[in-house]
C-alpha cells in the first residue's frame, strides 16, 4: 500500500490535475473492477463538475480557451514538460 501511494504521488507531481488520466481515474478504476454503480456515480460527478465550471465561467463572462491544445493548429498538444510519463491507472 505504501509503495502505491509513493508511485501515485510521483505521477501526480508530473501531470496537471486537469489531465484526463487524473480527472477520469476514479471512473477508469471502477470500469476495470467492473463496479458499474461506482462508474456511473464517478462519471456523473465529473460531468456535473464540468457543468459547474462552465456556469461559473459564463457568469463571469469568461471565454474558455484550451491550454494544451490549439484548434488552429489541428488540435496539436503542447505538454507541460518535454517528456510526459505514461498515465497508468493505479488502484490503491
Residue scoring higher pLDDT (49 or 88): 49
pLDDT at residue 58, as a whole number: 94
Q: What is the pLDDT of residue 43?
A: 94
Q: Please tell me the total count of domains within the chain.
A: 1
What φ, ψ does residue 47 adopt, rounded to 5°? -65, -40
Q: Which CATH number belongs to the domain containing residue 65 in this structure? A: 3.30.70.3490
Give pLDDT tens digits for 22-56. Answer: 788 889 888 988 999 999 999 999 999 999 999 99
What average pLDDT is seen over the chain?
77
CA distance 23 to 42: 10
What is the rounded CA–CA span in Å between residue 19 and residue 25?
Answer: 10
CB atoms within 10 A of CB 89: 13
27: domain range?
2-77
pTM: 0.58
Amino acid at each position: 500500500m505504501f509503495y502505491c501511494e509513493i508511485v501515485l504521488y510521483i505521477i501526480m507531481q508530473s501531470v496537471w490535475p486537469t489531465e484526463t488520466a487524473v480527472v477520469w481515474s476514479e471512473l477508469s478504476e471502477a470500469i476495470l473492477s467492473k463496479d458499474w454503480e461506482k462508474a456511473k456515480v464517478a462519471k456523473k460527478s465529473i460531468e456535473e463538475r464540468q457543468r459547474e465550471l462552465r456556469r461559473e465561467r459564463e457568469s463571469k463572462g469568461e471565454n474558455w480557451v484550451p491550454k494544451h491544445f490549439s484548434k488552429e493548429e489541428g488540435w496539436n498538444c503542447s505538454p507541460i514538460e518535454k517528456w510526459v510519463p505514461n498515465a497508468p491507472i493505479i488502484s490503491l
